Chain A
Amino acid sequence: MKNWKKAIALVASAAALVSVAACGSSNSGSSDSGKKVVGFVAVGPEDGFRTANEKDIQQAFADAGFDLKYSPTQQGDQSKQIQAFNKFVNDEVDAIILSSTEDSGWDESLKKAAEAEIPVFTVDRNIDVKDSAAAKAVVSHIGPSNEWAGEQAAEFVNKNFPDGANGFILEGPAGLSVVKDRGSGWDAKVASNIKVLDSQSANWSTDEAKTVTAGLLDKFKSENPQFIFAQNDEMGLGAAQAVDAAGLKGKVKIITIDGTKNALQALVDGDLSYVIEYNPIFGKETAQAVKDYLDGKKIEKNIEIDSKTFDATSAKEALDNGTRAY
C-alpha cells in the first residue's frame, strides 16, 4: 500500500517537472530562419477531398514563405486535435489554422489562444463557439459554403420540376455541421410543391446508401419518387446503383454535393443528374488571409470560396481538361 502511494507521488512529481521543463523551452514563436510559424490542426487523409484540401494548404503556405506545422488526427478523433491545438498555443506559434472534425467543444482551447493572442483561422468546417472570450480568438472562416451547396440542389430540383415532385434526401451522420448546413440550405430554397417523402442517414457511405435507397424506393413506389438529393458524392453513387437495379435509371434525378472525379464520371455516364462542387482548393486564399492579418491589414470575418456546379456537359469538359486535383 505504502509503495503504491510512493509510486504515485513519484510519477506526479516527475510529470510536474516535465511540464515545467516544457514551459521553459516553449519560446519557439519565430523559428530560427525568421519565418512566421503557422500551426495547422488538420483532419488528415480521410478521402479524396480532404487529401486535396490539405495538400493544397500545405503547398500554398510553403509558397507564401510560412513555416507550416502540420498536425493531422486519426479517424476524426477530436481529442487529438485539441491536444495539437493546445500544443501550438504553448509553442506560441504566430497563427493557427483549424480544420475541425466537430463543430463544438473548442471553447476552452480558443480561450487559451485568445489569452496568448494567437489568431485562429477556421477552414472548411465552421465551428460553434458559445463563449465570447473564446470567440475573440477566431479571426476569420475560410471555405466554401455548405448552405450555398444545399441551396443549389434545391434550385436544380425547383427548376426541373416546376409542377412539383416527390423525392428523398440522403443525409450524412447526424450532428455534423456539414449535414446541418447542407440541409438548411436546401430547406431555405426548396419550393413548396417539392415534397421530401423521407430523409434518412446513409452515413456518407456508398454501400449503405444503396441499401437505404432500395428500401425507400420499395416503400414509396406508389408516390412516384423523381429526385434524390444525396448530401455527398459517395452516397449519390450508391443511390444510383439502387435506382438502376429498380429499373428507374433516368426517371429519378440524383443530385450530389462534392464533385469528386468518380461523381463527374457518373454524371457523364448518366447515373447522376447534377453535381455541386464543394471546392477544396483554397490554400492560396487562406495563406493570403493569414499574411494580411499578420501584416496588420483588416480581413473579412467570412471568406467564402467559390464553387462550381456541373451537369453532364460541363462534367465532361472538366474531366477532359484533366486539371482536377481530386
Chain B
Amino acid sequence: MAEKAKAQGNTLVKKLLGSNLTWSIVAFILLVIVCTIFQHDFLALSWNTTTGGLAGPLITMLQESARYLMIATGMTLVISTAGIDLSVGSVMAVSGAAAMQTLSNGVNVWVAILIALALGIVIGCINGALVSLLGLQPFITTLIMMLAGRGFAKVITSGENADASAVAGIEPLKWFANGYILGIPANFVIAVVIVALVGLLCRKTAMGMMIEAVGINQEASRMTGIKPKQILFLVYAISGFLAAIAGLFATASVMRVDVSKTGQDLEMYAILAVVIGGTSLLGGKFSLLGSSIGAVIIAMIRKTIITLGVSAEATPAFFAIVVIVICVMQAPKIHNLSADMKRKRALKAQAKAVAA
C-alpha cells in the first residue's frame, strides 16, 4: 500500500518536473528572489491614493505584462497552426497611432477605440487571407506586413508622434491602461479576462483541437472534415485584434504614440513568451496558460533589468542569457540527465562485473 502511494508520488513529481509550466514558475520565482536581494522591499505593496490602486514594483510589472499577454495569446494560436505572426508589433503601432491621431482630431474616445481595434482586425484579416486563400508563407506575409504596418502608422500621424494627453474626454481609454479594478491594474485584469475567454473558446469548443489538427497536418485535417482555410484565417484575425488591444495598452499608458518605437521588437517578445510557455514552433500543440506565464516572465525580466540597474549596453545580452537559461531549465534532456548518468553508471558496473 505504502509503496503504491510512494510510486504514485514519484510519478507526480516526475510529471511536475517534466512540465514546462513548473519550470516557468520556478524561473519566475528565481527572478523575484534575485530582485528582492537587490531591492529589499521589492515585494512590498502599498496603497497609492493618487491613482486609487495598489502600488509597488510587482504592480508596475503586471501593468506592463498586459500587452505581452495580448500578443503572446494571439501568437500562440498562430504558432500552433505551424505559422508565425511577425506583424504584431507593427499592428500595435498602427492601432496606437490611429487611436491617438483620431483623438487629437477630436473624435469621440469610444469611436477612436473602435477604429483602432477595427484596423487591427483588418490587418489580421489581410494576413489571414494571404496565408489561407493564396497559400503564401506566413513568415514572408507577416514580415511584409510588419514593414508595411510601421509605414502605415507613420502615414496616419504624418510621421509625427501624435499626442492626445491634453484632449478632453479621454478618461475611459486612460483608465484601460492606467486604472485599477479593486486595486489591481485594470489592463492586467482585462488581459486576463480576454485570455480566459480565448481559452474557453479553444478548449470548451472543438476549435482548439481543430487549430492543433491544422498545425500537425493541414491535408489530413481537411480530410477529417475540418476547414483549414477558415481556421488559418481566423487565427491571424484574432492575432491582429489582440495586437490592436496591446497597442491601445501601450499608447494609452502615456497617451502618446511613438510611431517608430511603439511595439518595436515586441513580435520577438511574443515568440519568446510562447516558446517559454512550451508551445512548439513546429505547431500542433499549444498551451495558453504556458504562454501567459511566459508573457509575465518577459515583463519580469524587463523589471529585473531596471531593478538590478543593468547598464544600457548590457541589456540585450542580459535578456538573452536569462531566456536561454529558462529554455535550458525546461529542456527534457536536462531533466533526464540524472537518470541517464545512473543508467551509464549501472552499465559500467555491469561491464566491470562481466570483465571480472
Interface, chain A (partner B; CB < 8 A): 45-48, 51, 75, 171, 173-175, 198, 200-201, 203-208, 210-212, 214-216, 218-219, 221, 234, 237-238, 241, 244-247, 262, 265
Q: Which residues of B contact A221 (CB under 8 A)?
A: 41
Contact (Cβ within 8 A) B251 A207:
yes
A218's nearest neighbour on chain B, judged by CB, is B57
Q: Which residues of B contact A215 (CB under 8 A)?
A: 57, 60, 303, 306-307
Query: CA separation between A288 and B250, bound complex, in Å?
Result: 44
B210 to chain A minimum Cβ distance, whole angstroms, is: 37
Query: CA separation between A245 and B49, bound complex, in Å?
Result: 9
Query: CA separation between A157 and B254, bound complex, in Å?
Result: 26
Contact (Cβ within 8 A) B161 A234:
yes
Could you say which of A201, A219, A237, A238 contacts B312, with CB atoms under 8 Å apart?
A: A201
A212's nearest neighbour on chain B, judged by CB, is B306
Contact (Cβ within 8 A) B160 A48:
yes
Q: Place the interface of chain B in its size category.
A: 35 or more
B188 to chain A minimum Cβ distance, whole angstroms, is: 14
From known contacts A207-B251, A247-B50, infer whether A219 and B261 are also in contact, taking CB-CB under 8 Å: no
Contact (Cβ within 8 A) A219 B254:
no
Majority secondary structure, A binding face: helix
B304 to chain A minimum Cβ distance, whole angstroms, is: 10
Contact (Cβ within 8 A) A198 B258:
no
B271 to chain A minimum Cβ distance, whole angstroms, is: 20
Contact (Cβ within 8 A) A47 B161:
yes
Could you say which of B39, B159, B178, B311 contacts A51, with CB atoms under 8 Å apart?
A: B159
Contact (Cβ within 8 A) B250 A207:
yes
B320 to chain A minimum Cβ distance, whole angstroms, is: 15
Could you say which of B41, B51, B160 contacts A245, with CB atoms under 8 Å apart?
A: B51
B285 in contact (CB, < 8 A): no
Contact (Cβ within 8 A) B256 A206:
yes
From known contacts A201-B315, A206-B254, A241-B254, infer whether A46 and B303 are also in contact, taking CB-CB under 8 Å: no
Contact (Cβ within 8 A) B258 A207:
yes
B225 in contact (CB, < 8 A): no
Contact (Cβ within 8 A) A200 B309:
yes
Query: CA separation between A221 and B39, bound complex, in Å?
Result: 11
B166's nearest neighbour on chain A, judged by CB, is A265
Among A171, A210, A221, chain B packs the most CB atoms within 10 A around the CB of A210
Contact (Cβ within 8 A) B256 A237:
yes
**Bitwise interface map of B from 254 to 266 toward A, beta carbon under 8 Å scored 1, else 0:** 1010101110000
Q: Which residues of B contact A206 (CB under 8 A)?
A: 161, 254, 256, 258
Contact (Cβ within 8 A) A207 B306:
no
A326's nearest neighbour on chain B, judged by CB, is B160
From known contacts A174-B312, A207-B253, A241-B254, infer whether A219 and B48 are also in contact, taking CB-CB under 8 Å: no
B162's nearest neighbour on chain A, judged by CB, is A262
**B 217-264 contacts with A by CB, 8 A:** 250-251, 253-254, 256, 258, 260-262
Query: CA separation between A234 and B262, bound complex, in Å?
Result: 12
Contact (Cβ within 8 A) A245 B50:
yes
Q: Which residues of A contact B159 (CB under 8 A)?
A: 45-47, 51
B261's nearest neighbour on chain A, judged by CB, is A205
Query: CA separation between A241 and B307, bound complex, in Å?
Result: 19
Could you say which of B60, B160, B163 contacts A214, with CB atoms under 8 Å apart?
A: B60
A103 to chain B minimum Cβ distance, whole angstroms, is: 15
Contact (Cβ within 8 A) A200 B163:
no
Contact (Cβ within 8 A) A237 B260:
no
A245's nearest neighbour on chain B, judged by CB, is B51
Q: Which residues of B contact A204 (CB under 8 A)?
A: 258, 261
